[in-house]
Each structure stands twice: as C-alpha cells, then as structure tokens.
Chains A and B, each alone.
Chain A
Amino acid sequence: MTSTVSGAGIAVAPIDFTDRTLPNGLRVLLVEDHRVPSVAINVGYRVGGKDDPPGRSGFAHLFEHLMFKGTKNTRPETIDRLTEDIGGLNNAFTAEDITNYYEVVPSNYLETLLWAEGDRLGSLAVTEEHFHTERDVVIGEYDQRILAEPYGMLDELVNREAFAVHPYRRGVIGDPENLRAATLDDVVAFHRTFYRPDNAVLVVVGDFDPVQANAWVDKYFGRVAKPDAPIPRVTAVEPPQTAERTFTYRAANVPLPAIEYAYHIPEWGHPDAPALDIVETLLGMGKSSRLYQSLVYLQRVATAAHASADLREQPGLFSFRAIASTGTPLERVREALDAEIARLRDELPAAAEMVRVRTQIASSFVRSRQTYNNIALALVRSAIERDDPGALNSDLDRYRAVTAADVQRVARQYLARENRTTIEYLPL
C-alpha cells in the first residue's frame, strides 16, 4: 500500500515517478503503470514564446512545426507515420515558457518512438522548401485563430498592453511580419541554441519495463552531446505597475462587446500561487461560481464571465473576461465585475464556499489523472515551469492549507486597481 496525499478529505495516491538526469543534462521522469497497453511519451523543452529571438516574434511556435519536417535520418512527417499508422497519436504545442512534443502509442512501440524523439533532438534537416511551406501554414493559423475567431485578438492585446517590459508582451503566436522575415539560418541557430539535452525533460508514462526503458533512453538520448555554450535566459523583470492602464480597441468579428481586466501576479512557484488558483475557482469554476451566478444567471448582464489565474514560469497575469449580453452597456458589466472584486477584498469567503472550492479543485485534479498523457503533461509542466515535478504530489495539501484569510489577502494584494490593465473590446 502506497502512502496517500490528501486534500479536502480526499485520499489520492501520489504519482510514483523516478527522476534522474543523464550525463548530458537530460532530465528523465518515468511512471510505470500497466492499466492499458500503451505509453505516453512527452519531450518538453524549456523554450517558448518569451524566448523568441529579437525581431522574430512567433518563432518558437514556427519552429515547433519544423520539428516535424525531417532529420538527417528521416523524411518529413516520419513522426506522423510512426504514430498514426500504428494506432497512436502525436502532437505538440508551444506556450510562453515551454514547447512540448508528445506521442501516445501501443506499448510495444516505445523503443521506436524514443529513437524518433532522440533523433529530432540530435539533428534537424529542414529544406528551404519545407521551411517556406510551413511558415505559410503558421501564418494561416494566425489568420484562422487570431483574425477569424471572435475575440481571437483579445489575448494578444492583453499580453501586449499588460506587460511593458517583459517579453511575455509578445505572446506566442507572434507577428506574421516577423515570421516572414525569418530565414532558414534562424532555424538552424534556434535548434542549436535551445534544443539540447540539458534544456529538455523526457517523461514516459505507461506500460513498460523500467530497466528496458532506461536502457533505451540511455541509448537514444544519451548519445546527444551537451553543447558548451550557455543557454540564453530571459532576465527582464517587469517593473511594478503603479497606475491603472485603460485601452479601447475596436475590431471586426466582435459579436458582443467584451471587457478584460488583467492584474500582475507572481510566478507559479510562488507561495501565493495556490491561493490565486482558489480565487480563480471561487470566481469562475462551475455554474455555482460567483461570476456565473452574479453576472450571467441573476443580473444577466453578461453571456459569459471568466476568471483565470495564468500562472507561468515567471510572473504572469490574473485576468477577468466578461462578454456583455445583448443590449447591455459595457459600463454595467464593468460595475458588476467591480462589485465581485470588491466583495473578495471586503468579505471573507464563507467556510462552506471554501469547502466547495477545495473539493472542486481536488476533483478536477484527480479527474485529469486518468490518462497516461495527462499525467505525463502534468509532470513536464511542473518540471519546466516550476522546476519541481514532485510538487504535483503536494499540490492538494497546499490547496487545503489556503484559508479564507489568504484568499482575502491575495485579493487585496494583487487585485488592486493600480495593478490593473483594462481593455474594452468593441465591434467596429
């Protein structure tokens, strides 16, 4: 019987993982689990939108696409063939701080996929032609997700206006002009700079024999050399904001006016992070949450109202977004939001509400542990974004330790008017 971690009266088995670092610096986390005969493989790199080279906004994301375009040993789309054709799947994503590649395949193909991931860490051989095609695909993605989607541009605007100095202001999807200026030389340099074993975390979860898996990891990843050059890191520090900043934007594809508040908050590894997650849940999770009950259900001033503690490797944002209901002036939505923020600062949440929120957090935490790939992703993110994969196993305890007074304290400290960037987003 393994020991259990508990939170809100819930006993949850810890994720039992091994953690080692190869001589070349690659961190390797393995979770053995035999419920289903498959394995999830995640390779996370400590590089994201904030690390884009100067004048190359969006480059980390473009680069992610190029990682599917061939190596010195393989043709483009080899990873797709090695996964889809055997009933598996693969994909990748780029966020502010991380680029993560993953595969879920039948467990007897583990060695094949470890080879393939080690191969694309070790070499990349993109042709000029593939580079151009893929750059067009990424610019097409910008058109589809940012320009064509309702409110698609709003996330970009929030980052751009809320951060004055920190490169988080450039977002992840970047700027099509910057991408058009990128060259194949940039690609080679980027791979050399960031795609190195000491800048990566490999996680495997599922049905494998650890002795065999470790030997394969040594064989296919251990041979990749660790470069001597230091890895460039973002050192910019966002200065404290001292007065509210307000912006009004008008855009096509805005079905109803929206308002966004963004407040600076500390990084994910900070002791206040669990309390900020609790505030997010209390305000925004489920039909009984404060924003839904007040703005959407009772007052009917908004069709949707969200709160989000966007905790990152470096200080991030706590944001509110509300979309006005038909015919409601945005000013009324703003008043309703302000009232909810004032309530958080002025009143202690009731004990029953704290219990509900802790239970909601614990439940979604446990629910997300059902699939191998979710477990792998949680380990990768925790390893890269807060430098501590094991923190996952004490998260529930940390949530349980958050008191009503902590909620009020972080609300007063961070959800302050002078710390806020406000964007009104209106139809043309």
Chain B
Amino acid sequence: MTQPITTLEKPPSPGAPHRAELPLPVERTLANGLRVIAFPQRGAPKAYAVPIIAAQLIVRGGASAESEAEAGLATLTTSLITQGTATRSAVEIAQAVDGLGARLDAASGYDASTVSITALTHVFPDAFALFDEVVRQPSFPQAEVERVRAKAIGDLALSYSSPSALARFVAQRVAFASAPYGHPVAGTAETLAALDRDRIVAFHGRFFRPDNATLIIGGDCAPEDAFALAEKQFGGWRAPSEPLPEPVLFTVPPPRSRVVIVDKPDAGRTALLVGRVGISRRAKTYAAGVVATAVLSGYSGRLNQEVRVKRGLSYGAGAQLIARREPGLFLASTLVDHTKVEEAVTVVLDTLRGLAATPPEASELVTRKATISGGFSRSIETIDGIAGMLGELALYGMPLTDLGEYVPEIEAIDPAMVQQFAAAAFEELFIVLVGDAQVFGAAIAAAYPNTSIIPLAELDLGQPTAVKVPG
C-alpha cells in the first residue's frame, strides 16, 4: 500500500495557565499548649464537595529520640497505640473504626510520630472521640506488645530479603554512623526483642503531650467548628509537670567517599546507591536541592536517561532528597545486573558530577520544574495531601504561608543555583552496593580505594559500623 503524502500535524499549544487556589489554613493554640491548624475545603464554583474530614496529630518525637539500644521504640509505640485503650481491646477498636467507616493510622519517622483519622462528615465527631482515646489513653496490653513485636520482626526479615530496601538501611548507617539518624526506624530483630512494655509506656508519656503536638483538622468543616471540636475533645488534655523534651540537636559525621558492599549472593540484582548527608528542611538551599534532584529524577531525568534509555543497564534510576530537622540524605539509586555494577557506578557518578560541573540548560529546567509543580498540584487534590504538607511545615517550625510560596520558590531557581547546589552536595559521595559481590567485588575494590565488603551474615544494622561485633 502506498502511503499518501500528508502534512504532519503538530500538537496545539497550551492556553494560559490557571492559578491553583490554595487552602487557607488558620490556627489557634489551646490553653494547654496544643497548636491547632484548620483548613476548610475550597468552595470553588462547580466543585464536587467531598463530605470527608481528616485530622492528624503530629508529635515532636520519633526514632531520633531513641537510644541505639532502643532502636524501633518509636515505631513500636505508634504501632501499638491503636491496639488497646483503657476501655477497648484491639478488636473493639478495629470494630469501632470499621463501624464508622473511618481510617485510623499511626506511624513514626525520625523526627516525629503521627496519628491520623479520616471519616465522613456525619460520623466525624464519633471518629474524633475514638482518635482522642487512642492518642491519650493507649493501654499497651502485653499480649498486643508481643503480637506487634513478632510481626515487626517478621516484616524486617522480609525487607532484608530485598536488596533495595537493605541498601537503604545500610546507607543510613554509612551516612550517619552513631548519629540519631543512623539506626533503622524499624529497629533490628535484637533491639525489638529487648524492648519491654515499660519503655513503650514511658516513650508515649514523654512525647504525647499537648504542648509537644500539633493537631491539623481539614476538609468538610469550617475552621470555627474545627476549633470547637478540638477544644471539646482535647481541651482537657493536661501537660505533665516534667519539662518539655528538647529536640535532639546533633552534628552529623563529615562526609567521606567510601564504598560499602554487602555480599548477598542470592540477590537477583544488585542495588546501587550513591549518596551523601544532604540538607535540612529549613536550609536556604532546599528549593535548589529539590530542583537539582528533579533534574536527575523521573523518566526523562538525567539518571534514567543515562542508565536506562541510553545504556539499558536497568529498568530505572532516580534520585531522592530526604530533608529533615537536621541534614538528611541525598540518594541516587538504581538496580542492575551483577555484571553491570562497575559500569553503572561510573555512569551514576559521572551524571552527578556532570551537574556539579556545568549548569543545566534553562530549557531543561523548565520541564523539570514542571514535574515539581505538577506533583504539588496533585498533592493538594486530597485532604490528606494538604494535611501532610501543613504538618511538615508545622513540625519544622516554618510559616504555614510557605504552602503558597513553594511553587514560586521553585520557579525562582536558576541554572547557576542548581549547579552550585550540586557542586556543594556531590563531593565526598559514598557508594552502597547490595548484591552478589563474587561477581563485582574485586573490580570495585580495585577501582575505588576505600572499599569494604560485608558478608550478609556479618551485617548488623544495630551497630554504627553496620558490622557485627564479635561475641
């Protein structure tokens, strides 16, 4: 069949962008010191109103407040908070949550512990009362402590079997050693086994207090109603007489380039991480860091282009900037065939150094910044998404108006700022490899002077060096 001669059509150009209508948070502090932030659903014309209200309590106190010996304590405590109160068993809580069609979750990170509830408007007051009950009166029944601990240890075994998950645990240790961001949030089988109920009760008592928490209520609820609900439910919460726990301030070890290989012969592929201690959430360079990371990430980001598209070394590659109260981590990651490790390490390092050496083209920044603002737009589509962003600002003591500043700040980043960030951040990088070291270990050790190989049986994430201590 002969092809008719046709003129190719070009895609039509975009119209003028519409501005995002951001939620307007308002706040008030209760007499007991509890900070309450409310944000109403946006009443745009022709908006499909969703009859949902969400509440989130953020407590300053997470895994970075644990000692090394207590690794996993914050996570164990929050996992147990929904598993029994003064008046209800774990089963009764589950029945109450399901009976209300609500969703009740609790989790800890390094800097904070969070409990959240979402329910339909007409049952929200009942759901909120239940939320109050688990936050203030968890009973931590011994049987549930055992059950949750056993499950946590089982889950650890599962995540250790994944090279990518294991590499992330190892990277925390390589970057932070014995600093409070070094030990795994989930703990280790040994530290979990040693935690008893008394420590859990003490952790809860120490951090779950009104003057150490922020309560966010948003969705189908006017701010005045949200404040009234907060006062009714949490107004009687009294802070203990002990002084408020101080946020843990610490310095992180200076970065130094080194390679840590965990020999896991049964790994299907090798997980490769290149990283370094990064920046704090409040750092002035945060926006530049977010843009630099976006230049490297995503399908058309540089790492994926170099690793997957040009060389077919992996199904994907990307980067992450994890910013916390104190400097967090920058990580570039991919998963490659054991035989391709050496080449992939070179490609990833060269890609990072390329950005540190030369500012990106302005046109490249336009599309990479668009991925950031697009992600932001999608996050503010849901009530939980908005609450999550406000919670982060509150946790790190940043003004809530920063929600509206985020996209303009990203837009203001120019190529030179991206290069400056990369030049400062991509020095003294560490490399973590989890895979079959028999295949690539010798070649890597020959190419990179500061290389150590840890057999999987010798790995102990409970140690600052990540290596088992004899005896």
A and B held together in a complex: yes
User: Is the beta-carbon distance between B98 and A287 smaller than 8 angstroms?
Assistant: yes
| Minimum CB–CB distance for B425 against chain A, Å | 24
B98 touches A362 (CB 8 A): no
Decide if B298 touches A36 in the complex (CB within 8 Å): no
Q: Mark A1-31, 1 if CB is under 8 A from B, else 0.
A: 0000000011111011000000000000001
Are B47 and A370 closer than 8 Å at their CB atoms? no
**Which residue in chain B gives the minimum CB-CB distance to A38?**
B377
Q: Does B15 contact A (CB under 8 A)?
A: yes
Q: Does A375 contact B (CB under 8 A)?
A: yes
**Selected contact of B372 from candidates A12, A72, A73, A87, CB within 8 Å:** A87
| B375 at the binding interface (Cβ < 8 Å) | yes
Chain B nearest CB from A138 CB (Å) reads: 13
The answer to whether B14 touches A286, judged by C-beta atoms less than 8 angstroms apart, is no
Within 8 A of A (CB), among B298-342: 298-300
In the complex, whether A151 has a CB less than 8 A from a CB of chain B is: no
- B98 with A80: CB separation less than 8 A: no
What's the A-B contact tally at a CB cutoff of 8 Å?
A: 166
Residues of A within 8 A of B268 (CB): 148
Contact B18 A108 (CB under 8 A): yes
Contact of B300 (CB < 8 Å), options: A84, A119, A286: A84
CB closest chain-A residue, reference B370 = A87
Q: B284 at interface (Cβ–Cβ under 8 A)?
A: no
Q: Are B377 and A36 in contact (CB under 8 A)?
A: yes
Chain B residues whose CB sits within 8 angstroms of the CB of A180 once the complex forms:
none
Residues of chain B contacted by A269 (CB below 8 angstroms): none
Q: How far is the CA of A11 from the CA of B120 in the complex (A)?
A: 10
Indicate if A315 sits at the interface (CB-CB under 8 A): no
Complex Cα–Cα for A9 and B367 (A) = 47
CB–CB A111/B101 < 8 A: no
Q: Does B21 contact A (CB under 8 A)?
A: yes
Contact A359 B48 (CB under 8 A): no
In the complex, what's the smallest C-beta–C-beta distance from A167 to chain B, in angstroms? 31
User: Residues of A contacting B49 with CB < 8 Å?
Assistant: 13
- The reply to whether B101 and A363 form a contact with Cβ atoms under 8 Å apart is yes
Is the CB of B442 closer than 8 A to any CB of chain A? no
Q: Inside 8 A of A293's CB, which chain B residues have their CB?
A: 91
Question: In whole angstroms, what is the CA distance A366 to B103 when docked?
Answer: 13
Contact B9 A364 (CB under 8 A): no
Contact A106 B17 (CB under 8 A): yes
Answer yes or no: A161 CB below 8 A from chain B CBs. no
A375 close to B102 (CB less than 8 A): no
Interface pair A10/B50, CB less than 8 Å apart: no
Please classify how large the interface on chain B is, using the bins under 10, 10 to 19, 20 to 34, 35 or more.
Answer: 35 or more
Which residue of B is nearest A109, CB measured? B14
- A389 at interface, CB cutoff 8 A: no
| Contact call B378/A104, Cβ cutoff below 8 A | yes
Is there an interface contact between B377 and A37, defined as CB atoms closer than 8 Å?
Answer: yes
A60-87 CB mask vs B (1 if < 8 Å, else 0) is 0000000000001110001011101111
Report if B73 contacts A (CB, 8 A).
no
Q: Main SS of chain B's interface residues?
A: loop
Asked if A87 and B48 sit within 8 Å, CB to CB, the answer is no
B382 in the interface (beta carbon within 8 A): yes
From B23, which residue of chain A is reached at the shortest CB distance? A35
Task: Write out, one digit per residue, whether chain B residues 364-384 have a CB within 8 A of any chain A CB (1) or not (0).
Answer: 000100111111011011110
Name the segment of B38-46, B174-182, B388-396, B398-406 touching the other chain.
Answer: B38-46
The docked-state distance in angstroms from the alpha carbon of A108 to that of B13 is 9
Query: Does B450 interact with chain A (Cβ within 8 Å)?
Result: no
- A12 and B51 in contact (CB under 8 A), knowing A108-B18, A359-B123? yes
Q: Inside 8 A of A106's CB, which chain B residues have their CB? A: 14, 17-18, 374, 377
On whether the beta carbons of B300 and A85 are closer than 8 Å, the reply is: yes
Q: Are A37 and B17 in contact (CB under 8 A)?
A: yes
Contacts of A116 in B (CB 8 A): 11
B122 interfacial by beta-carbon distance below 8 Å: yes
B103: chain A residues at CB < 8 Å are 363, 367
Give complex CA distance A72, B5 in Å: 11
Min CB distance A20 to B, Å, is: 18
B64 is an interface residue with CB less than 8 A from chain A: no
Asked if B232 is at the interface of the complex by the 8 Å CB criterion, the answer is no
Residues of B with C-beta under 8 A to A84? 298-300, 367, 371
A356 in the interface (beta carbon within 8 A) = yes
B89-105 interface bits toward A, Cβ cutoff 8 Å, 1 = contact, 0 = none: 00100110111111100
Known: A369-B48, A369-B50. A85 touches B367 (CB 8 A): yes
* A106 and B16 alpha carbons, distance in the complex (Å): 10
- Bound Cα distance A80, B298 (Å): 11
B97 interface neighbour in A85, A111, A288, Cβ under 8 Å: A288
* A234 contacts chain B at the CB level, 8 A cutoff: no
The answer to whether B46 touches A89, judged by C-beta atoms less than 8 angstroms apart, is no
A9 to B122, CA, bound (A): 8
User: Does A45 make an interface contact (CB < 8 A)?
Assistant: no
- Of B48, B99, B119, B375, which is within 8 A of A35 by CB? B48
A35 and B98 within 8 A (CB): no
Q: Does B194 contact A (CB under 8 A)?
A: no
Residues of B within 8 A of A222 (CB): none
Q: Among A88, A105, A288, A363, point to the contact of B120 (Cβ < 8 A).
A: A363
| Chain A residues in the interface with B (C-beta under 8 A) | 9-13, 15-16, 31-38, 72-74, 78, 80-82, 84-89, 104-109, 111-112, 115-116, 119, 148, 207, 285-289, 293, 297, 352, 355-356, 359-364, 366-367, 369-372, 375
* 24 pairs, A vs B, C-beta closer than 8 Å: A32-B46, A35-B42, A35-B44, A35-B47, A80-B299, A80-B300, A84-B367, A87-B370, A106-B14, A108-B18, A111-B14, A111-B15, A115-B11, A116-B11, A286-B94, A287-B94, A287-B97, A288-B91, A356-B98, A356-B99, A359-B99, A359-B100, A367-B52, A375-B48
Known: A288-B97, A359-B123. 13 other contacts (CB 8 A): A10-B120, A31-B48, A34-B44, A73-B8, A106-B374, A108-B16, A109-B14, A112-B12, A112-B13, A116-B11, A287-B98, A359-B101, A366-B52
Q: Which 5 A-B pairs have the closest CB atoms?
A: A87-B374, A363-B101, A287-B94, A37-B18, A87-B370
Q: Which residues of B contact A (CB under 8 A)?
A: 6, 8-21, 42, 44-52, 91, 94-95, 97-103, 118-120, 122-123, 268, 298-300, 367, 370-375, 377-378, 380-383
